Amino acid sequence: MDIISLRFALQVSEYLSFRGAAKYIGIGQAALSRRVRALEDEIGVSIFERHRSGVRATLAGQEFLSRVRAALGELDYAVERANMAGQAETGRLRIGFFHSLAAGKLRDVLLNYRAQWPSVVLEFLEADNETQVVALRERRLDVGFIVGFDNITGLDHEVAWTEQAFVAMPEQHPLARRNDVALGDLKDESFIMRTRFDGSGALGWVVRSSDTMEPSSRVTTHTVSRESLIALVGAGFGLTILAQSATAIAVPGVAFRPIKEPAVTIPFRMVWSAENDNPALRRFLSHVRLHMATTKSDGETDNGAK
């Protein structure tokens, strides 16, 4: 039993005539009749009663054609959905990040993407840089957004945007009386952070890229949420450095000041595997690039090494 014969039988039932159906399909009437006869022989019942004025479906034929019509409709729908998924109009995208979604460019990117491609299912993983890179290599993530870190092998990556670096400090800290701070003012401070002090994350990036701040032994790591880390800052456990988007988290007793001497920016790197053939991923990468190109502020950097 083949799909073409089934579709031919449905056309005959629509036209109630082999002649009309054959003309619509574009084949000879005799060829169409033989095709339907072979189908009837295969299923073991007569689908049509033939008479001089045309044909009509038998009771068995009506039942058979009703189910064939439904089945082929499902098949057509499946093909349509597959084509849509291949064009990234539907599908699933797994996104990793390690910074706040309360504000900032990633939030804007996701809101804009969601508005344009509402049928794509988005799944999120909040994890540090190293965890994201491992998940990308193991294909448990499609794309990750990591802070600073550029020591990446085996994956494609580019700087999607940059953000102003801020230092979070208790409101009673002497530096909180200033509008901004210099890196030199921070060299003797104690810091706290959420991830390993390995050059990744905002604090690690600033220290690694600075000629003023030296790697300090006064860095304590805590396995806590971003909100809890900032709360620890307010409680006097140490300062921390973060990107501007994270300053949207309001915590009592904490002041945020930009680092402007020299001006310090933190790169947000988009990372993915070149071997990942998920169509939704390709669409998303293009979307991020276009979105950042059209919203880039003066002085921002949108390119980076691979």
pLDDT in tens, 209-221: 666 666 555 788 8
- Where along the chain do its domains lie? 3-86, 91-295
pLDDT at residue 157 greater than cutoff 50: yes
The whole model's pTM is what?
A: 0.65
- Does domain 91-295 fall under CATH 3.40.190.290? My reply is yes
pLDDT grade for 305, boundaries at 50, 70 and 90: very low
d(CA 235, CA 231): 6
The predicted-structure confidence for 221-237, as pLDDT tens digits, reads as follows: 888 888 888 999 999 99
In the chain, % of residues over pLDDT 90: 42
Please identify which residue in the block is written with the tokens 């600073």: 148
Question: Alpha carbon of 223 to those of 91, 122, 165: distances in Å?
Answer: 34, 26, 22
User: Under a CB-based contact definition with an 8 Å cutoff, are residues 190 and 170 in contact?
Assistant: no
Q: What is the pLDDT of residue 35?
A: 92
The predicted-structure confidence for 110-151, as pLDDT tens digits, reads as follows: 999 999 889 899 999 988 888 899 899 988 999 999 887 667
Q: What is the pLDDT of residue 150?
A: 64
pLDDT grade for 258, boundaries at 50, 70 and 90: very high
In the chain, % of residues over pLDDT 70: 85
Q: What is the pLDDT of residue 304?
A: 39
- Stretch 255-271: mean pLDDT, rounded? 88
pLDDT grade for 199, boundaries at 50, 70 and 90: very low
- Asked whether this chain's domains 3-86 and 91-295 adopt the same fold, the reply is no
pLDDT at residue 178 greater than cutoff 90: yes
- Does domain 3-86 fall under CATH 3.30.110.30? My reply is no
